[in-house]
Structure 1
Amino acid sequence: MAAGKIHSMESMGLVDGPGIRTVIFLQGCSLRCRFCHNPDTWDFDGGETIEPQELVQKIARFRPYFKDNGGVTFSGGEPLMQPEFLSETLRLCKKEGIHTCIDTAGCGTGNYDEILKYTDLVLLDIKQVEEEAYRHMTGRSMDHFNQFLQALKDHGTPIWIRQVVIPGMTDSRDYMEQLKRYVDNIPNVEKVELLPYHLLGANKYEVMGIPYPLCGVPAMDKDETANLQKEFFGGYDHV
C-alpha cells in the first residue's frame, strides 16, 4: 500500500464539486502555471506523509457534513502525480460509499484506468487549448493532458470543465469561442465554470521569495466573467 503526501485538508468545501465536500490537497505539481495560487504545493518533498487507510478514516469522520449529496474531492497540487496513493484512497472511499471527485489539470503519471475506475466526477482545469499558449501558461507541453483527456473519454467519466479567466490572456471573446469549440468536442461534459482570476495567492510568492509571474495583472471583473459564462456556456449545466 503506497503512502502519500498531503498538503492540507478542508472539511467544508462548497465550490469543489456537488454538495459539501471534504477537500484533500495533495502535495506536488510539475506545472508552473502563471496564475497558480498554491505555489506552496509544488514541492514533492513537502507535506504530511499518510497511508490511504488512515486518510479515508479521517474523511469518513466528515460524513455527517457531506451526507448523501456531497463527498470528497482530491485537489492539489496535482493529485495525478501520486497515482498509486490516489487510486488506493479512491478505492477505499468507494468501499465506504463516499462520492469521489478529482480536481486536476490532467497532468500526471501512472495508470489512469485504475484511478478513473473509482472516480465519480472530474473537475478538469483547462489552462489553454492550443499547444503554444499552453506551454507559455504552464511551462509544459499538452501531452500528459491529452492522454488524460482521452482516458476520460474512454471511461465516460462525468466532467466539469473549469477555466480561469485572466485579463489580457483568456478573457477575450475570441478565446471564449475557441474554448467553446474545444469543449463541444468532449462528449461527457456536464458543466463549464468560468472562474475570475484573483490575487489571493500573490502574497505566497513574496513569502517564498519567488517572483510572481502575473505581477501587475488586475483581478478579473466578476460581473464580466458571469456575462461570459451566460453567453458562451449557459447550455452547460446539466447537473
Structure 2
Amino acid sequence: MNYHRYYPVDVVNGEGTRCTLFVAGCVHQCPGCYNKSTWGINSGKPFTQSLEDQIIKDLQDAEIKRQGLSLSGGDPLHPKNVPTILKLVKRVKAECDNKDIWLWTGYKLNELTDEQQSVVPYIDVLIDGKFVQDLADPKLLWRGSSNQIIHRFK
C-alpha cells in the first residue's frame, strides 16, 4: 500500500484530536474530489513498518490525548489497500486502549466485498458513498456531499 500524507495531530478529520492517514488508490475518481492526487494506486510513498510503528506510538502518546485514527485517501478500502488496512486496524485495536477508528470510503456499506467487510468489525465510524458534486454541502460534518452516510458502529 502507498500513502500520501500522515498527520500525527489532526482535529479536522473526525471527532477529537486524531492521527490521520491518507492512502493512495481510488477507483471512484469522483468529479470535484479535493484529493485527486491520491487516486493512483502507485502514487505517493510506500507504507512501511516504520510508519505503522510510528502511528501506534503516536496513538499511545499520553502527552497528546488522541481520540483515535482516521483513514482516508484515496480509498482505504481499495482492494489493493485492504490487506494493509486490516493489519493496521487490528493492531490499533489490540495495542491502543480506547482509540476509535474512522474510515472514509467511496464504496457503500452494503456493496462491500467479503474482503472489504473484514475491516468493518474494527471500525467505529464508517463514512460511505462517493462524493457527488451536485450534493456537496460545506456545512456537513465529516462528509462532502449529502448522499454520504455516517455509520456509527460502537
Q: Common fold, TM-score beyond 0.5?
A: yes
Are residues 1:49 and 2:46 paired?
Answer: yes
Match of 2:95 in 1: 96
Give the TM-score normalised by the residue count of structure 1.
0.49
- Structure 1 pair 22/125, CA: closer, same or farther in 2 (3 Å)? farther
Separation (CA, whole Å) in 1 of partners of 2:91 and 2:18: 17
Partner in structure 2 of residue 59 of structure 1: 55
Is there any run of 5+ residues in structure 1 with no aligned partner, and where? Answer: 135-159, 166-178, 191-239
Q: Distance in 2 between matches of 1:78 and 1:99?
A: 19
Over residues 45-97 of structure 1, what are the superposed CA-to-partner deviations in whole Å (9 max), with x where a residue is unaligned? 1111124x4333111232336526x1111100111011111111111111112
Correspondence 1:117 to 2:98: no
Q: Using the alignment, how far apart are the partners of 1:39 and 1:23 within structure 2?
A: 17
Q: Which amino acid aligns with 1:38?
A: N
**Superposition pairs for residues 132-147 of structure 1, below 5 Å?**
none
**Runs of 4+ off more than 6 Å:** none
Counterpart residue number, 1:7: 4
RMSD: 3.0
Deviations 1:14-69 (A, max 9, x none): 12112111110000111221111111111111111124x4333111232336526x
Instruction: Give the direction of change, closer, same or farther, for the CA distance of 1:126–1:30 in structure 2 (3 Å limit).
Output: closer
- Counterpart CA distance in 1 for 2:51 and 2:113 is 21
Partner of 1:86: 85
Could you say which structure has the greater relative contact order, defined with CA pairs below 8 angstroms and 6 or more residues apart? 2
Residue in structure 1 matched with residue 138 of structure 2 by the alignment: none
Rg: which structure is higher? 1
Q: Unmatched 5+ residue regions in structure 2?
A: 136-140
1:89 counterpart letter in structure 2: L
Work out the CA distance in 2 between the residues paired with 1:18 and 1:72.
10
CA contact (8 A) 2:14 2:142 kept: no
1:24-43 correspondence runs (5 A): 24-43=21-40
* SS of structure 2 residue aligned to 1:36: coil
Structure 1 distance, partners of 2:131, 2:89, is: 25
Structure-2 change in CA distance of 1:123 and 1:45 (3 Å): same
CA contact (8 A) 1:99 1:120 kept: yes
Task: Specify which structure has the higher proportion of helix.
Answer: 1
Q: Can you list the C-alpha shifts for 1:169-197, whole angstroms capped at 9, x where unaligned?
A: xxxxxxxxxx6xx96xxxx846xxxxxxx
